[in-house]
Amino acid sequence: MEVVPGARVIKIGDVNTTAVYVHDGVLYATILPTTKLSRLAHHKRKLVERPRGENGEYLTIKEMNSEQLSQYNKWRKQRHKVNNYDKWLDSARRSNAKRYEDPTKRKKILASNTRNRKLTKNKVIAKEYSLHYMRKRRMSSVHKLVDRCRSRLYQFMKSVGDTKRWQTANLVGCTSEKLNIYLKFDGTGHVDHIFPMALYARSGLVVDQWVKMAMHYTNLQVLSAAENLEKHDRLPTKAMAAKVARWAWPPGITEDMLPDVYEGWLSALRM
């Protein structure tokens, strides 16, 4: 997070995802980027300051005029939003989803989004977010794992003359974090399909059915580049196949058809 040079960092309440700071007498809040926050939520948001009197002390409601009272109400709303950001975000998402269901409101929302994207300030914000997002993906083993699974499915469907029309997360059968723990993926190595995808494609099943079987997390394993190239599209060893959920086995494949170990490999699982 970049804070304006010379700014005095302060904290309001118990804020876990927000850095609040003052610069040139102006109060700012920067929402830190987390997976729960919306696309532009981590950028600077100017906060209204609570009205003060001539002596510098906070005014009571009875002492405020209409303009100060309006400023006070804005301050209360923004302070509540900062201190309860996760709850506010969930509420905003539910409200937006409900509005999006109305065709008339949806048309207005899409038109507004199109106008906002063309604004110079939003282009700058979007570029900053894009850089942060790509940097995060390069550093995270979880994102690398999901990207490789997604890319492999896309390339295979393209090779058989079809298109990828499913969300990879829905096919895998677990969250990306759990998949990373299950495979013990550290960002290196190849993500291999224990039963090759080509085997499922030739099975005669409906594509929606065999894709879900092939991409199930139990049919995935991590191998070194040399091991994956050596295994290629061969049937897995019995030890490898034992990790795959039985319902996800390709039709017609039985355990008797599987080798105990590949020639030249030290074990049934690794070279």
Look at residue 150 and tell me if it is in a domain. Answer: yes
Q: Is the dihedral of CA 117, 71, 25, 27 positive or negative?
A: negative
pLDDT at 20 over 80: no
Residues 158 and 201 grouped into a single domain: yes
Residues 154 and 225 grouped into a single domain: yes
What is the number of other CB atoms lying within 10 angstroms of the CB of residue 219? 26
Question: Which residue, chain included where needed, has tokens 């013990």?
Answer: 184
Q: What is the pLDDT of residues 128-185, one digit of tens each?
A: 878 887 887 778 888 888 888 999 999 999 988 888 888 888 899 898 889 999 999 8
Look at residue 262 and tell me if it is in a domain. Answer: no
Residues 166 and 219 grouped into a single domain: yes
Residues 6 and 65 grouped into a single domain: yes
Q: What is the pLDDT of residues 87-107, one digit of tens each?
A: 888 888 888 888 888 888 888
Residues 23 and 41 grouped into a single domain: yes
Residues 115 and 174 grouped into a single domain: no
Residues 120 and 197 grouped into a single domain: no
Q: What are phi and psi of 64, to 5 degrees?
A: -85, 145
Look at residue 94 and tell me if it is in a domain. Answer: no
Structure tokens of 105? 């409101």
Query: How high is the mean pLDDT of the chain?
Result: 80
Residues 112 and 174 grouped into a single domain: no
Residues 149 and 248 grouped into a single domain: yes
Identity (one letter) of the amino acid at 78?
Q
So what's the pLDDT on residue 215? 92
What is the separation of C-alpha 128 from the centre of its chain, rounded to a whole number of angstroms?
Answer: 17
Task: Tell me the residue range of the domain where 108 lies.
Answer: 102-139
Confidence (pTM): 0.56
Residues 210 and 247 grouped into a single domain: yes
* Angle at alpha carbon of residue 77, lines to 72 and 80, rounded to 5°: 120
So what's the pLDDT on residue 26? 52
Domain count, the chain: 3
Look at residue 265 and tell me if it is in a domain. Answer: no
